[in-house]
Amino acid sequence: MSPQPSLPSWMTWRQRPFPDANALLLPGRQPVLVDSGFVAHAEETADWARAHAGDIGLVVNTHWHSDHVGGNALLQARGAGIAAGAPEAEAISRRDPGCCAAEYLDQPVAPYTVDVSLDDGQILRLGETDWEVIRTPGHTPGHLALWQPEERLLVVGDALSDYDVGWVNLALDGLDAATTALASLKRMADLAPRVLLPSHGPVLTDPDAAFAGALRRSRRLVDDPDGAVWYGARRIFSFALMIRGGIPADEVESYLHARAWLTDAARLLGRTAETLAAELTTTTLRSGAVVLRDGRLHAAAEHTPVAPESLRVPYPRVWPATEPR
């Protein structure tokens, strides 16, 4: 894949539809991949990376959600190290049952370990260039960005895209999570990057406009906590439909009733889980975010199909204990 005009020749960027995150490949003596996509497409991710750069030496995760770490286990089995933000690295190392929010969100992640814990201000040699780790909590507590000062490139993860900002989990991360995310956006904007590399959607070559829109959206999440809860619920529901090839219409509400994230959202909104499940289904159908086809509800957004058997990986609470590498 040839580089886009706004990107230097020493990097390869791949825009991917859901349920995968975009991929940034940095060839060199130790090729580096930033984010590894969803578990269902791990083989395809690994094969693509190897074809463009050879054997991957290091995977750097912007954060631990399933669409960013799904290829970690396979790439690690093939010799790659894994680097992640310190809070998430520590939780992975101690096999915290809440790792990756995988069980909470019902988004499978194959077991992996973290070899390199990253903290704010750390300088990493990725490919043939130096990058600075910028802590950008909000979407997750361990979320990070990567800053390349010479080219003024900023990898922003899920903090923002051309159409959105990352949803925040007020139930797990506290009612100030939206305020934290807003502060992270302001910190990134202060770097005055030339190009933004988001985890979803296209490369952003007008950072001023992108940050202006993102700051407005993020401020709304701060000012309207109920709206922030609804926003997260819609995003999680849509992702569930994507990775399951849709859910039969007569089973959707029972599926939602069993989800911890929906129970928490209902509590924050002062509703029962049953009421919220019905409202969520109705409103997403009405908005067009979800469509009914052949008796199943499907996410309307573009996404890559997922083989059902690829979802059969253990939740972190039963991941094998970590071993020294």
Same domain, 195 and 280: no
Q: If you average pLDDT over residues 116-127, what whole number do you get?
A: 97
Residue 227 scores a pLDDT above 60 = yes
Whether 324 is in a domain gets the answer: no
Same domain, 41 and 119: yes
Whether 18 is in a domain gets the answer: yes
Same domain, 297 and 172: no
pLDDT single digits (tens) 38-87: 999 999 999 999 999 999 999 999 999 999 999 999 999 999 999 999 99
Residue 207 scores a pLDDT above 50 = yes
Bond preceding residue 17 cis, omega within 30 of 0: no
Whether 325 is in a domain gets the answer: no
User: The domain spanning residue 18 has which CATH number?
Assistant: 3.60.15.10
Q: What is the pLDDT of residue 2?
A: 44
Q: Which domain holds residue 123?
A: 12-223
Whether 2 is in a domain gets the answer: no
Q: If you average pLDDT over residues 90-116, what whole number do you get?
A: 98
What is the SS3 assignment for 213?
A: helix
Last-in-domain residue among 203, 223, 243: 223
Same domain, 203 and 232: no
Same domain, 152 and 295: no
Q: What is the pLDDT of residue 324?
A: 56
Which residue has tokens 């909104």? 269
Residue 259 scores a pLDDT above 50 = yes
Same domain, 197 and 236: no
Q: What is the pLDDT of residue 160?
A: 98
Last-in-domain residue among 170, 199, 223: 223
The residue among 79, 154, 149, 144 whose CA lies nearest residue 118 is: 144
> What is the secondary structure of 103-156 as a DSSP string?
HHHT--------SEEE-TT-EEEETTEEEEEEE--SSSTT-EEEEETTTTEEEE
Q: What is the DSSP letter of 165?
A: B
Paired with 34 in beta bridges are: 24, 60
With beta carbons less than 8 A apart as the criterion, state whether 71 and 36 touch: yes
Last-in-domain residue among 170, 195, 223: 223
Strands 32-34 and 58-60, by their bridges, are: parallel
Same domain, 68 and 196: yes
Residue 93 scores a pLDDT above 50 = yes
Whether 317 is in a domain gets the answer: no
Residue 234 scores a pLDDT above 60 = yes
Domain count along the chain: 2
Residue 5 scores a pLDDT above 60 = no
Helix, strand, coil abundance in the chain, percent, nearest 5: 40, 20, 40
Same domain, 31 and 54: yes
Q: What is the pLDDT of residue 322?
A: 85
Residue 121 scores a pLDDT above 50 = yes
pLDDT single digits (tens) 159-203: 999 999 999 999 999 999 999 999 999 999 999 999 999 999 999
Q: What is the pLDDT of residue 239?
A: 98
Whether 91 is in a domain gets the answer: yes
Whether 294 is in a domain gets the answer: yes
Residue 1 scores a pLDDT above 50 = no
Same domain, 43 and 169: yes
